[in-house]
Chain A
């Protein structure tokens, strides 16, 4: 039992904006009052609900592929030494599993969503998540290039497609569905891409990316998944792709959706020389579409590793940069590409990208619908979030950074005109309360009675980067893991899984197809329940 006194509480889910009040914790939950027990004096400190990362890549076959591909990054990273309570590991753009848990918790984040899991290797993803301590986890399964699903959508068999999607979600033991470059990864299996929303995909006669988006969004609503379709739009990273992004939103036909790493989808221009920000256009349209949420996918200058299921884009990036290229096509389901990348402030395209991420965060007026991410490790490493927070909270510091950009870039962006500064209350929304709501996790992202006792206590500091980089205390599930700024204890996290309703007979349909498409026996395909460590079932609420 624990009582925290004297801290200024920021709990946007309950409209609490910097009010000094006590927080009581018992049995891992926030409670109204506790009797005896430890008291933590937080006088002069700031209390936030634990951070929630709605889109990150921290575990799974693709990330592990990247670790193998870039030993030079691990070598350059500061090590975590083995201690009595903590496991050894390495940081860097693709940290080892234990280091990932320590780095997130050390930054005050207590819940993360691994955003790209193929069913075929989901067993492996859960193994890695089991070894990712402290934080609670959830996964999204890749579905928009699964040829069994695409074949059904092309044939117009939506009811059967729904059954298959539900079965696959449970087979992978995940929380929701991610659609990456719908149709584009399937086309990449033939070395092609899908850039036009209304053109048929390579290998199909009538199926278009727009139909996949609409079809999947409808299925996800019918199944009542807690998190809506998590959409990585087509044409990522390409100049002029804002039109594709707007078309993708239209393809949703008003259904709810979460748009991933929006920064990579908000460019104008015709080629790399004319590329410019279209954040104003996208943000003003997005502001009117109240059924949508998005995460920023901001970039920061420095080393990153781009990892995405968007195979064709990665081939282009490999040709552009001449650096290493990893690619793995996953039978029937998806693919993944990996290219190490360095964002440079002196590079015109990178400068525009840097500005677009911040512009979207500043121009989208409702903080409950735009969340802080870097699409780790694509735009920047997750442990650099505090740098972005500082940029958002301090317009003067932003101006200093803008002055370092190439002068040519200034004509391509609107960031210099933006004077908005985020308040602590708004930061608490975009880092915790908002993503928790978008993920429909009622026990996360707030400090009301009944919530999980996940909270972070900061020393107040005008330098947001310093303040958010080094929390004074981090409490996860009622346990103090960071104390006096030092990670002292590691505990195990949980994993959230949904089981949407499906008819068991769907297996009779899938089994023969499976034998044709795959190379393992059908019985070995689903993830066994006991492989999910700290299983926490979440509910589906079908929407009529």
Chain B
């Protein structure tokens, strides 16, 4: 089995001499990634900066990030999983079928060369984006690149990290994990957390029309989710907390304008490597913070009579 072998971004800056971006376009989506963490910085053990590092980009088309790369490997759309499988076999020195490799749009020689570079680096890192994790194969793709990185540790130091973005999505993931045990796709209807991605994830609930109201915080599903999900949001009472007008707020029943976190509201943001950073607001806002609004909603809800039957109000048996 794989798992997740990773590091904080400072380790990449200080040590990484081999950097892979897979299914992502950091030049446009994470524009500070190259300059702050991965490529151009001089690190403690990479004193020459960019000269001391090799970058490989794997993607289905030549994005602006390809300009920054030393090697660009163009994989055929939807063939990422097959490519990882071939790489994992080559890492272990097992034969691969050239016909199967050809389906990925690459040759065995190209993959063998890629594997040789991975094995011979001192510290390798593989960043993967939504072009890998949200296309055909989805979480199986993520699991396979994580396994690839884990297995490479039999030869050298190698780590992997998802290229997360969208505001504080990592922070939400982190806090849900310590309060409920799960990162997302959680159902609390029974009074305790249950986890089932695909059943309880937001997009699935909305597409099936399972929920009869939505409260949306720090996200704009109206811009990214499939049409049936958006229609369900429009059809049912939807409340949006957001500093600005968004696609979602336009179809919502209620839009509460809140102060922008980091600009006019304090808080904590988690980087993609789960390192927390404090936010210190530079400006004052006439609007309340998200936290203030949530607290007031909660206080109002707490005044309502409890609906849980008393028999359920007992502590469950021990774990």
Contact = CB atoms under 8 A, between A and B. Distances in A.
Contact of B193 (A65, A88, A106, A327): A88
A88 B180 contact: yes
A61 interface: yes
Where chain B touches its partner, the secondary structure class is mixed
A318 B181 contact: no
Interface stretch (B6-14, B110-118, B127-135, B235-243): B6-14
Contacts of A67: 177-178, 181-182
Given A80-B192, A524-B278, A519 B178 contact: no
Q: Which of B191, B312, B315 has the most CB of A within 10 A?
A: B315
B178 A131 contact: yes
Given A318-B150, A332-B10, A81 B316 contact: yes
Interface stretch (A68-76, A231-239, A242-250, A364-372): A68-76
Interface string B187-221: 01011110100000000000000000000000000
A92 B319 contact: yes
B285 interface: no
Contacts of A459: none
Given A92-B319, A519-B9, A81 B4 contact: no
A516 B183 CA distance: 33
B316 A80 contact: yes
B178 A91 contact: no
Contact of A326 (B5, B14, B188): B5
Contact of B276 (A123, A329, A335): A123
A178 B9 CA distance: 24
B275 A103 contact: no
A92 B192 CA distance: 14
B168 interface: no
A339 to B, nearest CB: 8
Contact of A487 (B14, B154, B275, B315): B315
A131 to B, nearest CB: 7
Contacts of A103: 318-319
A336 to B, nearest CB: 10
Interface in B263-284: 268, 270, 274-278
A120 B208 CA distance: 42
A96 B174 contact: no
B191 A81 contact: yes
Interface string A54-87: 0000010101110111010011011111111011
Contacts of A89: 179-181, 192-193
B2 A90 contact: no
Interface string A309-329: 000000100110011111111
A465 to B, nearest CB: 13
A95 interface: yes
Contacts of B34: none
B287 interface: no
A487 B318 CA distance: 11
Nearest to A76: B319
A350 interface: no
Contact of B315 (A81, A131, A190): A81
A129 B178 CA distance: 10
A99 B122 CA distance: 42
A84 B315 CA distance: 10
Interface string B153-187: 11011010000000000000111011111110000
A327 B11 CA distance: 13
Contacts of A61: 274
B7 A83 contact: no
B282 to A, nearest CB: 14
B10 A319 contact: no
B199 to A, nearest CB: 13
B198 to A, nearest CB: 13
A65 B177 CA distance: 8
A86 B268 CA distance: 26
Nearest to B268: A123
B182 A517 contact: no
Contacts of B179: 87, 89, 96-98, 131
Contacts of A487: 315
Contact of A331 (B10, B181, B191, B270): B10
Nearest to B317: A78
A45 interface: no
A92 B1 CA distance: 21
Contact of B319 (A65, A99, A123): A99
Contacts of A190: 122-123, 157
Interface string B297-319: 00000000010000011111111
A524 B275 CA distance: 11
A84 B306 contact: yes
B275 A520 contact: yes
A90 B44 CA distance: 42
A499 B79 CA distance: 56
B8 A329 contact: yes
Contacts of A131: 178-179
A96 B181 contact: yes
Contacts of B6: 327-329
Contacts of A96: 178-181, 193
A463 interface: no
B3 interface: yes
Contact of B2 (A325, A328, A338): A325
Given A327-B159, A528-B278, A90 B178 contact: no
A79 B183 contact: no
B53 interface: no
B36 interface: yes
Contacts of A322: 1
A87 B180 CA distance: 10
Contacts of B319: 77-78, 90-92, 95, 99, 103, 381, 383
B275 A327 contact: no
Contacts of B313: 81, 83-84
Interface in A223-274: none
A127 B7 CA distance: 21
A155 to B, nearest CB: 16
B7 A329 contact: yes
Contacts of A106: 318
A376 B305 CA distance: 40
A328 B11 CA distance: 10
Contacts of A486: 315
Nearest to B278: A524
Nearest to A94: B181
A342 interface: no
B108 to A, nearest CB: 27
B98 to A, nearest CB: 29
B178 A74 contact: no
A328 B7 contact: yes
User: B1, B181, B191 — which one has the most chain A CB atoms within 10 A of its CB?
Assistant: B181
Given A123-B268, A190-B122, A75 B195 contact: yes
Nearest to A73: B181
B276 A121 contact: yes
User: 4 shortest A-B CB distances, which residue pairs?
Assistant: A91-B319, A331-B10, A79-B192, A74-B181
Given A69-B3, A78-B319, A79-B190, 5 more contacts: A68-B173, A68-B177, A79-B192, A327-B5, A332-B10
17 contacts: A63-B178, A65-B4, A77-B181, A78-B319, A79-B191, A81-B312, A83-B314, A84-B306, A87-B179, A96-B180, A97-B178, A97-B179, A124-B274, A322-B1, A328-B6, A331-B7, A518-B10
Interface of B: 1-11, 13-15, 36-37, 44, 122-123, 150, 153-154, 156-157, 159, 173-175, 177-183, 188, 190-193, 195, 268, 270, 274-278, 306, 312-319
